[in-house]
Structure 1
Amino acid sequence: MTFEPLRILLVEDDFFIAETLAREIRAEGDTVVGPFADIHEAIQYVGLVQAAILDVLVQEETSFSIADSLIHHEIPFIFLTGSDPRVIPARFADRHIYDKPSPATPLLYDLHQQHRAIVSQGDGNMEAVVIEMIRRARDLMPDEASADRIVEGALLRAIAETKDKRMEGDIRANMLSLLYDEYRQRGRLCLH
């Protein structure tokens, strides 16, 4: 089964596991955001990804705050753990849990299936995609005006790419990718 590439947040504090997973994820054609060994740093990227792999315990902290944020943004994720899965709160009972270490292939298959289910719910609804872009930009930026500017930049690029017939496939993924690029190119400047 063929999937559109995803931007996947990787939160893992074991260097060797993180590097192995990152390499395997890239080999499968997806993009790795991270890996991060710090919860506070990783949570800043939640609005910029389409899926996530979360180690449960990272540097003596849990990744549950990131998981809550991912749920809020309707972004699929899975947990990795080297400890007892019963430490995961009941509010995450419907989330998939994998033992560490795990090869990337089953994790990616799971994430792509979850992503595809979310995308199919809002398929073809450009208004819903733009609203999601605005919501994500406002979560990332310090004020509404700067958030609106990166959304506007992404929309202008989408129009140009549509005219050049470069916009194909999953519209939602493409639009969020353009938003991410705008944030990376211009949005971070607003934060400093």
Structure 2
Amino acid sequence: MTFEPLRILLVEDDFFIAETLAREIRAEGDAVVGPFSDIHEAIQYVGLVQAAILDVLVQDETSFSLADSLIYHEVPFIFLTDSDPRLIPVRFADRHIYAKPSPATPLLHDLHQQHRAIVSQDGTNLEAAVIEMIHRARDLMPNEQSADRIVEGTLLRAIAETKDNRMEDDIRAYMLSLLYDEYRQRGRLCLQ
């Protein structure tokens, strides 16, 4: 399967831990949204991310309301804590908890696995795949017109490959890999 970078919400109020994690996440190829040291500020980005790393205690608040919002939006997340993990409510019993400080690699591995599991449940929905491609292209490109050209090129390529019976079972992953390939081949020219 082709590597798909994720937009990861990072909520951590310890400056050094937050900066270290953000640097390591970017080095692994994912994008960091944040880091945030305020739950109320971070919650505004829930619909714009694909995964999250949440410090359990941020300033004087817990991140549990943010975790509830992530669950509602089907965004995978993990908790970080330097406190007793038993303080986390039972409703999050199925969520993974890591001790602070932790290196980013195992956290990212966990988040990517969770994300793939969610996506594979809806991997055959072509309409959802095209809508996600449009959003991703608009994140990559400087304007809607250039994003639409990249999506159009991707769709034309997918149609051609479908005629050759090369379409894979996971349509979403396949279409996104074609999109990123189209961006590598033609999209960067639009940015120059």
TM-score, reference length from structure 1: 0.71
Q: Say if 1:119 and 1:172, in contact at 8 Å, map to a contact too.
A: no
| Partners of 1:52 and 1:12 in 2: CA distance | 11
Q: What is the deviation of 1:107?
A: 0.1
Query: Measured at CA, do residues 172 and 87 of structure 1 come closer, stay the same or move farther in structure 2, by a change above 3 Å?
Result: farther
* Corresponding position of 2:12: 12
Unaligned runs of 5+ in 2: 134-142, 159-171, 180-192
Q: What is the deviation of 1:163?
A: 2.4
* Corresponding position of 2:150: 161
Aligned residues: 156
Q: Percent identity?
A: 77
| Partners of 1:129 and 1:4 in 2: CA distance | 14
| 2:73 matches 1:84 | no
| Partners of 1:12 and 1:106 in 2: CA distance | 17
Q: What is the deviation of 1:161?
A: 1.7
| Partners of 1:13 and 1:32 in 2: CA distance | 15
Query: Measured at CA, do residues 47 and 127 of structure 1 come closer, stay the same or move farther in structure 2, by a change above 3 Å?
Result: same
Q: What is the deviation of 1:3?
A: 2.6
The residue identity in structure 2 corresponding to 1:164 is G
| Partners of 2:74 and 2:7 in 1: CA distance | 14
- 5 Å matches for 1:96-135? 96-128=96-128
Q: What is the deviation of 1:37?
A: 0.1
| Partners of 1:124 and 1:48 in 2: CA distance | 22
Query: Measured at CA, do residues 131 and 165 of structure 1 come closer, stay the same or move farther in structure 2, by a change above 3 Å?
Result: closer
The alignment's C-alpha RMSD in Å is 3.1
TM-score, reference length from structure 2: 0.71
| Local SS of the residue matching 1:13 | coil
| Partners of 2:122 and 2:27 in 1: CA distance | 29
- 5 Å matches for 1:27-176? 27-128=27-128, 159-165=148-154, 170=173, 171=175
In the TM superposition, what whole-angstrom CA distance separates every residue of 1:25-60 from its partner, at most 9, and x where no partner exists? Answer: 000000000000000000000000000000000001
Larger radius of gyration: 2
